[in-house]
């Protein structure tokens, strides 16, 4: 079933999420609905990386909108539908120059749809299995629950005490008024009545003192609980959110904190009601040395102070600023929409839609020369309400904000003259609102974590590095000059953060041995890396020795390659990845012939992966061989598991052989990768009969006999050196009666590496036919296959025709 159809069949709660997802102009739901089948059939991920593919899909999208408009006209659909389709097409014209941006947006929406479907399926499974999700309580949580129960119990007791006090005062007041009205002249009777009144007054005074004392104890417990909530639990949540922004698997759910904050606020407001009741009672009956008159002002000030502190802390940024097509949160681009969500943790129904949140920018901007200022545009004022949260929390969800730089001459002026790059310049987005309830008014403010603001997508990689470094090390969220005096990171901190990048992107983090290889790359051989430190400059500014790129660029290139092309292989543990050349040989030379492992290249900027295998000489000596690394260019042509499946090497006898037999340590190749192999097609064509062919990599055993046509991996030339992969014929099959050699210029359906007119060592097509020692075509071509006579002599022939298995 199509993804869109699955979404339409979900329960109302998930349909609401879909509706919220498309509540904007970035990608209209109407277009998603009417072009659902076509949209889901396109490779938007590739289009987001390839301008030409993006342009083709962009043009087809516009044509489909025209076709849909024609259908509406012919079907007599409403004028409004016709108008909307025309409007959507006109709106998409803004992507004419950069169609890959539209592809990126569509890809993002499809991923969000998948998340909604996954959540719905998980909820259904939980319901079917009747699984009760009871997270284990920590000691801290149990302590809070005990204190919360104590506060609530004291409030209930205080409520009873107030009622008793009121009854005592009514009794005293009644008898006192009766005594005055009767006006007896009997002195003995009068004295007796005065004794009774005095006793009642003494009891009333004792009750008032007892109540005030109990209220003070109640506030002590409430203050202790507030300190735990604000100074411990909230601070820990903020730190978890910081780490979650850079990939840590930490929970940032606010439901439990909201429950605690709301209960605490309810208790404190109850105390205010008790104090107000005391004031009313004091207005009716008071006397010399009345304890209420003396102690109430201090208690009132104290409870208001606790409430103010609680309310100010309860206003938080639940979801940090992020762009739909961004690399991660906290990296924003000028003139590109971003979203951010605030939440008020005191959940009072009477406040629904009553508190308006306003957005501002850089109110506490540092006095730094050249520091940029920005204006926040879009819907920058929203009311806190319970409709925009799945849990019914008080939320203001800003989904259509943009930033525009202020034109102020030479930028900001200040006392500091620091040389910070654009991606090291930190900014804060501020939010403010007003709490007004039960004659109590409090101004509330909160702010986002520092964001990096870029103006071009080429700056995103560096900006994300800054966000990683800041949130890994800085515990002061408002330290906007962090990069002016940037601290170094210890290896345990850095290693954990690097593992989070893989964990958040692929659900599989880095193992200890993989981290050790990275540490060795950064610090050299050490007994222990725990005390090693790396500076910000070495992480993201200085090039790795003998290369033209930084450590972060290299690592991020590998991460992107894995996420884009190798995610399944990485998640199932097939890729060892980060392993040094020396370690690789140590592991393989003890294994049987044909054992291989997959590792990342250390010398390719945008990520490369290779495989190495062990062979044995006639004397029994192990020989570890490596193939030249494959880059994302190669992996766009052939999936890596298909490369492994069909890779061949031409031995000295020119007999092709696949040397890859067992994935390290000893898993048969078919068992490790068989589930990813492309299934054979059993469909027969009613027209022409074709020989189905495939694109394969073939390497010469002697690297001197076949020059590399691919990227060079200069650092990895140890031992026997990397083998040079060669492309074989792939893609569409040719007719049996004709087989044309490849033309001198590259055909778009083949990789650039397939043709190299200047390579002297390539056999010509005629030489290929004459020299059966190179390749026996009879083993691979059907009996009725013939070659077109008169092929141009001297034309390079690098493609090998091989039928699919």
- Please report the DSSP string for 85-110 in residue order: HHHHHHHHGGGSS-HHHHHHHHHHHH
Identify the helix (H) or strand (E) that includes residue 194.
helix 187-227
Average pLDDT over residues 694-711: 45
Burial readout 559-592 (b: 16 or more C-beta within 10 A, e: otherwise): bbbbbbbbeebbeeebbbbbbebebbbebbeebe
pLDDT band at 647 (very low <50, low <70, confident <90, very high): confident
Residue that wins the pLDDT comparison between 267 and 743:
267
pLDDT band at 418 (very low <50, low <70, confident <90, very high): low
Which residues lie below 8 Å from residue 552, measured CB to CB, with a gap of 6+? Answer: 461, 465, 539, 540
Distances (CA, A) of 674 to 591, 669, 671: 22, 7, 6
pLDDT band at 648 (very low <50, low <70, confident <90, very high): confident
The whole-number pLDDT of residue 1 equals 61
- Which CATH homologous superfamily contains domain 143-312? STAT transcription factor, all-alpha domain (1.20.1050.20)
pLDDT band at 731 (very low <50, low <70, confident <90, very high): very low
CA angle 509, 512, 515 (to 5 degrees): 75
The chain-wide mean pLDDT, for the chain, equals: 79
The residue ranges of DSSP E strands in 461-586, in sequence order, are 489-490, 533-534
The whole-number pLDDT of residue 210 equals 87
The whole-number pLDDT of residue 32 equals 79
Query: CA-to-CA distance for 537 and 541, rounded, in angstroms?
Result: 5
Is CATH 1.10.10.10 the right assignment for the domain spanning 3-129? no
Is-contact 376 360, C-beta < 8 A? yes
Q: Is the pLDDT of residue 137 over 80?
A: no
Q: Is the pLDDT of residue 66 over 60?
A: yes
Query: CA-to-CA distance for 660 and 616, rounded, in angstroms?
Result: 13
pLDDT band at 375 (very low <50, low <70, confident <90, very high): very high
The whole-number pLDDT of residue 107 equals 86
The whole-number pLDDT of residue 409 equals 52
Preceding omega of 665 cis (within 30 degrees of 0): yes
The whole-number pLDDT of residue 651 equals 65
Residue that wins the pLDDT comparison between 748 and 1:
1
Q: Is the pLDDT of residue 738 over 60?
A: no
A 10 A CB-CB count for 511 gives: 13
pLDDT band at 773 (very low <50, low <70, confident <90, very high): very low
- Condensed to tens digits (0 to 9), the pLDDT of residues 517-566 reads 999 989 988 888 999 999 999 999 999 888 899 999 999 999 999 999 99
Of the candidates 610, 802, 618, the one whose C-alpha atom is nearest the C-alpha of residue 713 is: 610
Weakest-pLDDT range from 169-183, 392-406, 496-510: 169-183
Query: CA-to-CA distance for 427 and 16, rounded, in angstroms?
Result: 33
Residue that wins the pLDDT comparison between 543 and 10:
543
667, 673, 675, 676: CA torsion to nearest 10: 170
Q: Is the pLDDT of residue 743 over 50?
A: no
The whole-number pLDDT of residue 384 equals 94
Average pLDDT over residues 274-298: 89
Distances (CA, A) of 135 to 240, 604, 771: 17, 45, 71
Average pLDDT over residues 582-605: 90
Specify the DSSP class assigned to residue 794.
T
Average pLDDT over residues 380-399: 88
Specify the DSSP class assigned to residue 675.
G
Q: Is the pLDDT of residue 201 over 60?
A: yes
Domain boundaries, the chain: 3-129, 143-312, 315-454, 567-679+686-779
The residue ranges of DSSP E strands in 305-380, in sequence order, are 315-322, 331-333, 338-344, 356-361, 374-378
The whole-number pLDDT of residue 369 equals 79
The whole-number pLDDT of residue 411 equals 52
Is CATH 3.30.505.10 the right assignment for the domain spanning 567-679+686-779? yes
DSSP symbols for 637-674: HS-HHHHHHH-EEE-TT--EE----EETTTEEHHHHHG
Query: CA-to-CA distance for 76 and 674, rounded, in angstroms?
Result: 52
Query: CA-to-CA distance for 724 and 713, rounded, in angstroms?
Result: 11
Is-contact 416 369, C-beta < 8 A? yes
Distances (CA, A) of 356 to 71, 262, 430, 445, 722: 44, 19, 14, 12, 64
The whole-number pLDDT of residue 315 equals 97
Q: Is 567-679+686-779 in the same CATH topology as 143-312?
A: no
The whole-number pLDDT of residue 474 equals 93
Query: CA-to-CA distance for 685 and 527, rounded, in angstroms?
Result: 64
Q: Is the pLDDT of residue 711 over 60?
A: no
pLDDT band at 609 (very low <50, low <70, confident <90, very high): very high
Average pLDDT over residues 69-87: 75
**For the chain, percent of residues with pLDDT exceeding 90:** 37
Query: CA-to-CA distance for 721 and 716, rounded, in angstroms?
Result: 7
Q: Is the pLDDT of residue 76 over 80?
A: no
pLDDT band at 208 (very low <50, low <70, confident <90, very high): confident
Average pLDDT over residues 399-408: 88
Task: Mark residue 675 as left, alpha or beta (left: phi above 0; alpha: psi -120 to 50; beta: remaining).
Answer: alpha
The whole-number pLDDT of residue 198 equals 83
Of the candidates 800, 690, 687, 683, the one whose C-alpha atom is nearest the C-alpha of residue 736 is: 690
Which residues lie below 8 Å from residue 476, measured CB to CB, with a gap of 6+? Answer: none
Which CATH code of 2.60.120.10, 3.20.20.30, 2.60.40.630, 3.20.20.70 fits the domain covering 315-454?
A: 2.60.40.630
Q: Is the pLDDT of residue 716 over 60?
A: no
Q: Is the pLDDT of residue 688 over 50?
A: no
């Amino acid at each position: 079933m199509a993804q869109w159809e699955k979404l339409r069949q979900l329960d109302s709660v998930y349909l609401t999420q879909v509706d919220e997802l498309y509540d904007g102009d970035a990608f209209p739901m109407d277009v998603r609905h009417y072009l659902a089948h076509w949209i889901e059939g396109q490779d938007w991920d590739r289009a987001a990386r390839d301008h030409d593919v993006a342009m083709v899909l962009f043009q087809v999208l516009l044509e489909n909108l025209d076709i849909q408009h024609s259908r509406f006209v012919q079907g007599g659909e409403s004028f409004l539908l016709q108008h909307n389709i025309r409007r959507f097409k006109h709106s998409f014209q803004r992507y004419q120059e950069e169609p890959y941006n539209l592809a990126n947006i569509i890809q993002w929406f499809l991923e969000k749809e998948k998340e909604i479907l996954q959540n719905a399926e998980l909820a259904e499974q939980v319901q079917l299995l009747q699984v009760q999700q009871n997270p284990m309580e920590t000691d801290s949580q149990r302590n809070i629950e005990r204190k919360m129960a104590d506060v609530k119990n004291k409030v209930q007791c205080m409520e009873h005490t107030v009622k008793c006090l009121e009854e005592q005062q009514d009794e005293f007041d009644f008898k006192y008024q009766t005594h005055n009205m009767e006006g007896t002249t009997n002195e003995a009777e009068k004295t007796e009545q005065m004794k009774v009144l005095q006793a009642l007054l003494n009891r009333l005074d004792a009750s008032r003192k007892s109540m005030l004392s109990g209220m003070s104890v109640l506030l002590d417990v409430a203050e202790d609980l507030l300190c735990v909530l604000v100074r411990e639990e909230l601070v820990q949540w903020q730190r978890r959110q910081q780490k979650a922004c850079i990939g840590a698997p930490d929970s940032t759910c606010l439901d439990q904190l909201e429950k605690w904050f709301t209960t605490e606020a309810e208790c404190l407001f109850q105390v205010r009601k008790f104090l107000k009741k005391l004031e009313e009672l004091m207005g009716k009956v008071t006397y010399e040395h009345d304890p209420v008159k003396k102690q109430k002002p201090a208690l009132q000030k104290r409870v208001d102070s606790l409430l103010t502190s609680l309310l100010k802390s309860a206003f938080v940024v639940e979801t940090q600023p992020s762009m739909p097509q961004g690399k991660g949160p906290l990296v924003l681009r000028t003139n590109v929409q971003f979203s951010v969500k605030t939440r008020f943790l005191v959940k009072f129904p009477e406040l629904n839609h009553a508190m308006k949140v306003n957005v501002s920018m850089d109110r506490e901007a540092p006095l730094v020369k050249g520091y940029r200022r920005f204006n926040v545009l879009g819907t920058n004022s929203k009311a806190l309400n319970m409709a925009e949260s799945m849990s019914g929390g008080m939320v203001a969800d800003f989904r259509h904000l943009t930033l525009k730089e202020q034109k102020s001459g030479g930028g900001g002026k200040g006392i500091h003259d620091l040389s910070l790059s654009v991606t090291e310049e930190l900014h804060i987005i501020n939010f403010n609102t007003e709490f007004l309830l039960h004659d109590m008014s409090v101004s509330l403010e909160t702010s986002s974590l520092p964001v990096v603001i870029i103006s071009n997508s080429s700056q995103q990689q560096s900006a994300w590095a800054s966000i990683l470094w800041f949130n890994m090390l800085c515990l002061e969220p408002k330290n906007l000059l962090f990069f002016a005096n940037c601290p170094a990171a210890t290896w345990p901190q850095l290693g954990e953060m690097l593992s989070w990048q893989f964990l958040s992107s692929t659900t599989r983090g880095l193992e200890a041995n993989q981290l050790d290889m990275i540490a060795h790359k950064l610090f050299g051989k050490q007994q222990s890396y725990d005390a090693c430190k790396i500076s910000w400059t070495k992480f993201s500014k200085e090039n790795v020795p003998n290369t033209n790129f930084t450590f972060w660029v290299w690592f991020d290139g590998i991460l992107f390659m894995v996420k884009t092309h190798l995610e399944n292989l990485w998640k199932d543990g097939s890729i060892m990845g980060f392993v040094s050349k020396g370690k690789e040989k140590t592991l393989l030379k003890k294994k049987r012939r044909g054992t291989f492992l997959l590792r990342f290249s250390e010398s390719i900027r945008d990520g490369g992966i290779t495989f190495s295998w062990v062979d044995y000489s006639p004397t029994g000596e192990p020989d570890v061989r490596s193939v030249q690394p494959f880059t994302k260019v190669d992996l766009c042509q052939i999936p890596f598991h298909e490369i492994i499946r069909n890779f061949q090497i031409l031995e000295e006898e020119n007999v092709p052989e696949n040397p890859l037999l067992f994935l390290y340590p000893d898993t048969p190749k078919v068992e490790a990768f068989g589930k990813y192999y492309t299934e054979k097609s059993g469909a027969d064509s009613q027209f022409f009969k074709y020989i189905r062919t495939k694109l394969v990599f073939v390497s010469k055993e002697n690297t001197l006999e076949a020059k590399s046509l691919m990227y060079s991996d200069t650092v990895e030339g140890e031992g026997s050196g990397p083998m040079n992969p060669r492309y074989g014929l792939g893609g569409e099959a040719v007719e049996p009666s004709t087989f044309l050699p490849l033309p001198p210029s590259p055909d778009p359906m083949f990789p650039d590496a397939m043709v190299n007119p200047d390579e002297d060592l390539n056999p010509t097509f005629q030489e290929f036919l004459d020299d059966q020692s190179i390749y026996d075509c009879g083993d691979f071509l059907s009996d009725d296959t013939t070659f077109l006579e008169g092929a141009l002599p001297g034309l390079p022939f690098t493609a090998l025709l091989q039928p699919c298995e």
